[in-house]
Amino acid sequence: MKNNVLQGKHIIVGITGGIAAYKSPLLVRLLVKAGAEVTCAVTPHALQFVTKLTLETVSNHPVYSDLFEHDNPHTTEHISLKDWGDAMVVAPATANIISKVANGIADDALSTLLLSFRKPLFICPAMNTQMLESPALKRNMQQLCDDGAFIVQPESGPLACGTSGNGRMAEPETIVDAMISQLSASCDGVALTQDCSSTLTPFSVLITAGPTYEKIDSVRFIGNFSTGKMGFALAEEFAARGCKVHLVAGPTHLSTNNTNIERIDVTSAREMYDAATRLFPSCNAAILSAAVADFRPEHEADHKIKKQSDQDDMTLHLVQNPDILASLGKAKRPDQILVGFALETDNELENAKKKLSKKNLDFIVLNSLHDKGAGFGHDTNKVTIIDRDGNIDEGSLKSKQAVAKDIADKMFSLVKI
């Protein structure tokens, strides 16, 4: 199911002159493995890093590199190729090609093809941090986004120039995941062969994460042990796939890396409710992983509550918080996907199934509290995914990043393919 969207599709892999071009043959192989037919279009500088022979061997197609090549059966190859391709990915994309495409410059085979291409376009930047952060490059990247291209964000790590920072091309697996996710979400099999660049707005996901704090007085609160790690891993995973992520986060020390993530920090359940209900109508999907306090003190003292010398006990009267997930379930449109988490200690499966139907979810992620290494604060988790068709997928103990990948795969298997 996961790779269906690439099955039989024609993908053009554009390659430009950066050291990350050594990973391009692997990207071609992964696309072919996913069922796509691949043709490479390269700049002369790309051929300094990777040979035509390698690319022709892995793609099983001639490489397009020269506008005026003599043995080229079509004198206007860029025109026939743009009709042949269902989607295009430029990996690596140098600052030069990004700036040329953003400004409509067509002075070689690849840039000419890109200027005429009107179907889904994925750009995978790779360059050193200073270039990536230059005002000119930022402007040009923004222009590409405005024109409907997907940016598969670069990652941080050692760079070819000997420094370390943001600018490494995303790994080929991440690029393929991003393509599958966005193509599944934006175009069905039929639309993919048509001009759908204008409808390709990024898939947007609302994610809630972390605990909520319910204020008792100016120095105390009711909270829980959630750290937000699962929700933040989900945010990074969806952002890496090119999605626009709205991350509504309760109090946590975690930080986010990907510029596709818009973070909204909140403290209480009611603040989380306000943010989530405001954002949900404009999102394609929502995943509520936050550990929301079900109750809050009826009255918040604006000063520190003092104990009396003869006081043996104290009663706090609590009132119920809004159930954010249930509210989104009521407001959900048929084209939206809603995912909840369940934390259960008894009758886990039965209770999770009840929540799935009661809150009108597409699937629910049941957290295990019984397994060592799973749950609050750990870097690993063990979950069972239950969908509304009754499918139950019990996962093994794995990193929260790997669990986030499973959840994203499940989500995109449900988006209209």
Q: Is 221 helix (H, G, I), strand (E, B) or coil?
A: strand
321 binds ligand CTP (CB under 6 A): yes
Q: How many Å apart are CA 289 and CA 308, to the nearest integer?
A: 40
Of all helices (H) and strands (E), which one includes residue 296? strand 295-297
**Closest to 266 measured CA to CA, from 286, 251, 287, 277:** 251
Compare residues 83 and 294 and give the one whose CB is closer to ligand CTP: 294
**Closest to 409 measured CA to CA, from 242, 172, 189, 177:** 177
235 binds ligand CTP (CB under 6 A): no
288 binds ligand CTP (CB under 6 A): yes
Structure token pair of residue 209: 């994460």
292 binds ligand CTP (CB under 6 A): yes
- Measured in degrees and rounded to the nearest 5, phi and psi for residue 415 equal -70, 145
Q: How many Å apart are CA 256 and CA 239, to the nearest integer?
A: 10
Among 15, 113, 239, 342, the residue binding ligand CTP under the rule CB under 6 A is 342
Query: 52, exposed or middle or buried, with CB in 10 Å at 0-12, 13-18, 19+?
Result: middle
Q: How many Å apart are CA 280 and CA 246, to the nearest integer?
A: 9
Compare residues 14 and 228 and give the one whose CB is closer to ligand CTP: 228
The distance of closest approach from Cβ of residue 280 to ligand CTP in the complex, given in angstroms and rounded to an integer, is: 11
56, amino acid identity: E
Among 49, 122, 238, 341, the residue binding ligand CTP under the rule CB under 6 A is 341
* Residue numbers 14-73 binding ligand CTP by CB under 6 A: none
Strand partners, 394: 384
Residues 6 or more apart whose CB falls under 8 angstroms from that of 133 comprise 166
Q: Which stretch binds ligand CTP (CB under 6 A): 75-83, 131-139, 193-201, 338-346?
A: 338-346
Residue with structure tokens 């929301």? 292
The distance of closest approach from Cβ of residue 391 to ligand CTP in the complex, given in angstroms and rounded to an integer, is: 19
The distance of closest approach from Cβ of residue 399 to ligand CTP in the complex, given in angstroms and rounded to an integer, is: 21
DSSP state of 364: E
323 binds ligand CTP (CB under 6 A): yes
b (16+ CB within 10 A) / e for 286-297: bbbbbbbbeebb
CB atoms within 10 A of CB 38: 24
Residues 6 or more apart whose CB falls under 8 angstroms from that of 33 comprise none
- Measured in degrees and rounded to the nearest 5, phi and psi for residue 278 equal -70, -40
How many amino acids of this chain bind ligand CTP (CB under 6 A)? 15
294 binds ligand CTP (CB under 6 A): yes
Compare residues 321 and 368 and give the one whose CB is closer to ligand CTP: 321
269 binds ligand CTP (CB under 6 A): yes
340 binds ligand CTP (CB under 6 A): yes
Q: Which stretch binds ligand CTP (CB under 6 A): 11-19, 45-53, 126-134, 286-294?
A: 286-294
Compare residues 24 and 208 and give the one whose CB is closer to ligand CTP: 208
Q: Please say if 187 is a catalytic residue.
A: no
325 binds ligand CTP (CB under 6 A): yes
Compare residues 143 and 252 and give the one whose CB is closer to ligand CTP: 252
275 binds ligand CTP (CB under 6 A): no
* Nearest residue to the partner ligand CTP, using Cβ: 324
Q: Is 338 helix (H, G, I), strand (E, B) or coil?
A: strand
Kindly name the residue from 40, 124, 161, 196 that is annotated as catalytic.
161
Among 159, 290, 383, 403, the residue binding ligand CTP under the rule CB under 6 A is 290
Compare residues 28 and 342 and give the one whose CB is closer to ligand CTP: 342
User: Which of the residues are catalytic?
Assistant: 161
Query: What is the binding site for ligand CTP (CB under 6 A)?
Result: 208, 269, 288, 290, 292, 294, 321, 323-325, 340-343, 355
